[in-house]
Amino acid sequence: MPGTALSIVMATLTFAAAEADEPEDERATHIVDTSTDRAPARTTFPKYPRIARRDRIEGKATVCFTIDTRGRIHNARIREASHRIFRRPALRAMRASTFEALGPGEVLERSRTCRTYRFRLEPILAAAGSADN
Amino acid sequence: MRTTVAVLLAVFLAPVAWGQGAERMKSETGPTTVIGPTNPPLQDGAQALLAGHAAEGVRLTHEGLEIAGSAREEEAALSNLCAGYIMLENFDEAMKYCELLLRRDPDNWRAYNNRAVIYIKTRQYDLAEQDLLRGEELKPGAHTLKVARAMYMDAVHPVAPEIIVDDRDAAEQEGEQR
Say how far apart CA A76 and CA A35 lie, in whole Å. Answer: 22
Alpha helices by DSSP H, chain A: 50-54, 87-95
Say how far apart CA B49 and CA B11 lie, in whole Å. Answer: 8
The pLDDT assigned to A9 comes to 31
- Low-confidence residues of chain B: pLDDT under 70: 1-37, 169-178
Say how far apart CA A85 and CA A29 lie, in whole Å. Answer: 20
Q: Is B23 helix (H, G, I), strand (E, B) or coil?
A: strand
* Residues 62 through 121 of chain A touching chain B, CB cutoff 8 Å: 62, 93, 113-121
- Output DSSP code: residue B38: S
C-beta atoms of A13 and B11 within 8 A: yes
Proportion of chain B in helix, strand, coil states, percent, rounded to 5: 60, 10, 35
> Rounded to the nearest 5 degrees, what angle is found at the Cα of B68, between the Cα atoms of B83 and B34?
110
The answer, yes or no, to whether residue A8 has pLDDT greater than 50, is: no
The answer, yes or no, to whether residue A54 has pLDDT greater than 70, is: yes
For residues B33 and A1, the answer to whether their CB atoms sit within 8 Å is yes
For residues B1 and A25, the answer to whether their CB atoms sit within 8 Å is yes
Amino acid (1-letter code) at residue A43: T
- Does the interface ipTM go beyond 0.85? no
The answer, yes or no, to whether residue A76 has pLDDT greater than 90, is: yes
Q: How far is B10 from chain A (nearest CA, A)?
A: 5
B1-11 pLDDT per residue, tens: 333 333 444 34
C-beta atoms of A45 and B163 within 8 A: yes
What integer is the mean pLDDT of A111-127? 86
Mutate to test the interface with A, among B53, B85, B159 (most CBs of A within 10 A): B159
- Kind plus residue range of the DSSP H or E element containing B103: helix B91-104
Beta-sheet strands, E only, within chain A:
27-31, 40-42, 59-67, 73-81, 98-99, 112-123
Say how far apart CA B75 and CA B34 lie, in whole Å. Answer: 25
Say how far apart CA B104 and CA A86 lie, in whole Å. Answer: 43
Say how far apart CA A45 and CA A30 lie, in whole Å. Answer: 9
Say how far apart CA B97 and CA B91 lie, in whole Å. Answer: 10
What integer is the mean pLDDT of A29-42? 77
CB of B104 within 8 Å of a chain A CB? The answer is no
The answer, yes or no, to whether residue A68 has pLDDT greater than 50, is: yes
CB of B140 within 8 Å of a chain A CB? The answer is no
Q: Which of B124, B163, B167 sits opposite A40 (nearest CB)?
A: B167
Distant-in-sequence, close-in-space partners of A98: CB < 8 Å, separation ≥ 6? A40, A41, A42, A71, A72, A73
Cα distances (Å, whole numbers) of residue B84 to A10, B30, B128, B176? 18, 42, 19, 52
For residues B25 and A1, the answer to whether their CB atoms sit within 8 Å is yes
pLDDT band at residue A14, thresholds of 50, 70 and 90? low
